[in-house]
Structure 1
Amino acid sequence: MADIVRATAADVPALAAVLASAYAEDPVWSWLMPRDRDRRLRLLFTAHLAQQVPAGRVWTDPERTVAAVWAEPGAWKLPATYLLRNAGPLLRATRAQLQRTAGRLFTMEHRHPAGPEHWYVEYIGTRADARGTGRGARVLGGLLARADADGRPVFLESSNRRNLTFYQRHGFAVHEEMAFRSGPPMWSMWRRDERGAEPGSGR
């Protein structure tokens, strides 16, 4: 875990900028925010990180060029109070695309598997000028080592086809290519637990 550190409240502005940079060309976020994307993503991620940091769910590298939001088993679902607290930033960030954004978020929550109990990679991104340095891989690897020690699988959704090979190198496999009524597809992925069992297989 030496390559990763738990983020603090002071890190929120820098890490919101990291995620905005990482998702700037993402197909789903480009569809949700066709204009003024960097500013609007910063608004959204600032509000989200500010709520997740106190829970200890935001991780980064010593240089603050990678941001990861990582939920422990049973804690992936956002409470209703989260939406109430973030209503203002969500409105300012999504503007005319509020209905589209809320629809995609609610659909993803509905499709999220109830079991088996799992760790959840909600977001992970590397600042554009630090890509290719291996820092994102080190942060993800440090988090996955924690899951291995716990003996439970890890779940994520990828919104960019180009990132699938990155996750596959870390032991993830595509579970489903998810199509929607509108907008780009996404991919759900599972990483087996330390016994090598497929999630939900009972083996």
Structure 2
Amino acid sequence: MPDTVAEVRLLDSGYSREVRSLLYHAYRHEPTFAYLFDADRPGFDQRVRATVRELVNRHFLEDLPAIGLLIEERLVGVALIAPPQRRLDITESWAWRMRMLLTTGLGCTRRYLDYHAAVLGCLPPGPYHILPLLGVHPEFQGKRLGERLLDALHAWCAEDGGSQGLVLDTGNARYLEFYQRHGYQELGEVALGPIREHVLFHPNPRPEASLAGGG
């Protein structure tokens, strides 16, 4: 089957509603979110939806970059990007924390903040881009769109000479091999109850000059 043709586009806040819907559908069955937001307790879907809404709204309010994949103007894949110098802004916002408390409760908010801090704790010193959220809509998975999205992300981040690469994390074992196959290296592992969250790093290409021999 030929690859599905998708357009890569840098998104602005006008796509906020579509981004929230896509990421909700992408994350509602993820094991990490099932643990963080207590899937066995009533209201889980609402907590996931509220969390995605607050993260996406804050992302665009901070004017942070987002890359989307579109097929015939429908958003089918998206990645939110936190540049090195601004990667902590969202969870340090008291307004964001208060909205999370009101929509997901104290326990889930605390669990999310602990998870976020543990992931950042795996990073060595240095400037990196971080992906807070990324996903392909479930209706469009299995069409190599995840690879298309990663290729676009790697190319975009490589243009920033002040960044060493791209960091993401996953608690879904079936994605781990996929990321490793695309050049990601494991930086560390975070225990989230029964979930093992893997923190992964994709280095930016080294400048051509560094490939030349010295002497």
TM-score band (shorter)? 0.7 to 0.9
Aligned-pair CA distance for 1:186: 0.5
Aligned-pair CA distance for 1:112: 4.6
Aligned to 2:87: 76
Aligned to 2:117: 106
CA distance in 2 between counterparts of 1:52 and 1:67 reads: 13
Q: Percent identity among equivalent residues?
A: 20
Who wins on radius of gyration, i.e. which is larger? Answer: 2
Aligned-pair CA distance for 1:15: 1.3
**Structure 1: which 5+ residue stretches go unaligned?**
197-203
Distance 1:40 1:71, change over 3 A: same
Relative to its length, the structure with more strand (as a share) is: 2
Report 1:162-181 matches (<5 A): 162-180=174-192
Letter paired with 1:175: L
Distance 1:32 1:56, change over 3 A: closer
User: Among 137, 143, 146, which residue is 2:153 paired with?
Assistant: 143
The answer on 1:134 being equivalent to 2:138 is no
Alpha-carbon deviations, 1:16-58, whole Å to 9, x = none? 1211111122112111221433332221111211121241322
Letter paired with 2:34: S
Distance 1:103 1:150, change over 3 A: closer
Aligned-pair CA distance for 1:159: 2.2
User: Among 36, 47, 51, which residue is 1:40 paired with?
Assistant: 47
CA distance in 2 between counterparts of 1:86 and 1:136 reads: 31
Alpha-carbon deviations, 1:134-176, whole Å to 9, x = none? 2232122111112223353211111212111221232112222
What's the secondary structure of 1:150's corresponding residue? coil
TM-score, normalised on structure 1? Answer: 0.81
CA distance in 2 between counterparts of 1:149 and 1:103 reads: 32
Task: Please tell me whether the aligned partners of residues 57 and 70 of structure 1 are also in contact (alpha carbons under 8 angstroms).
Answer: yes
Aligned to 1:121: 131
Cα RMSD, aligned residues only: 2.5
Distance 1:105 1:117, change over 3 A: closer
**Structure 2: which 5+ residue stretches go unaligned?**
1-5, 208-215
